[in-house]
Amino acid sequence: MPRGGTSPAATVTLEVRYSAPKQRAEPDQAGTGTGTMTDQTTSGGFNQIRPAQAPVAPIRATDRDRDAAIGMLQASYTEGRLTKAEHDARVGQALHAQTYADLDLLTADLPGRPGYPDAPVIPQPQHTNGLAIAALVCGVAQPFTGMLTTIPAIALGHVARGQIRRTGEDGRSMATWGMALGWAGLAAVVAFILAILAIVVVVAQSAPGP
């Protein structure tokens, strides 16, 4: 046994345990068996296949968008943020820029961003008005609540329609249906009361006198 108390077998075990991950050679396109060495072991010790990300097509800019970027470069040069050489170089690049990403690179280290007049507007998901949903729920729930939600359905429907006109939210049809069901329920309640009164009057008139 050598000095230090470590046997040759233990030395070999340590070297194997802490050896670098093995690499395998990938064959080249000609199939000759030669190629680059690719590491197939991840940090967790398992082989993983990473799906390739689909490239995102850049959106091309217009002449007015280039003018907006050049205007910002000129303003930055006037404020002393860019030197004459930097200004001239970036303006030349802006004139030949093809996409919005190319223009953004020229102003990435400047405060603010140029307002591109022809940039496409990304549609935002519309938010449904909460009062419109409540109006519809109250209108549908009238038979199950003894017509106690009739007035709330009408009131919530009117308020929701006003809010939708101001904010442009979704839910106009829901507010309309809730309000319509509320008015229909109110009409049914009034008709029921009138029918009861009519029955009472008829019974009172047909009753024999003393």
**Is the pTM value of this prediction over 0.85?**
no
**pLDDT score recorded for residue 127:** 86
**DSSP string of 76-107, one letter each residue:** HHHTTSS-HHHHHHHHHHHHT--BHHHHHHHT
| pLDDT 10s digits, 155-184 | 999 999 999 988 888 899 999 999 999 999
On the question of pLDDT at 126 being above 80, the answer is no
Which tens digit of pLDDT belongs to each residue from 96-121?
A: 999 988 999 999 999 888 888 888 87
205: confidence class by pLDDT, cuts 50, 70, 90: confident
Show the 3-state SS of 140-180.
HCHHHCCCCCHHHHHHHHHHHHHHHHHHCCECHHHHHHHHH
Q: Which helix (H) or strand (E) holds 72?
A: helix 63-78
How crowded is residue 95: how many other Cβ atoms within 10 Å of its Cβ? Answer: 12
Which stretch of DSSP H or E encloses residue 8? helix 8-17
Whether residue 195 is predicted with pLDDT greater than 60 in this model: the reply is yes
Q: What is the pLDDT of residue 46?
A: 37
Contact 132, 140 (CB under 8 A): no
Distance between CA atoms of residues 48 and 44, nearest Å: 10
| Distance of alpha carbon 78 from alpha carbon 56, whole angstroms | 36
pLDDT tens per residue across span 63-107: 999 999 999 999 999 999 999 999 999 999 999 999 988 999 999
Q: For residues 110 and 69, what is the distance between their CA atoms, to the nearest angstrom?
A: 11
6 secondary structure, DSSP code:
-
Sign of CA dihedral 160, 166, 171, 176: positive
List, for residues 48-67, the tens digit of each pLDDT value: 444 443 334 588 999 999 99
122 alpha carbon, distance to own chain's centre: 11
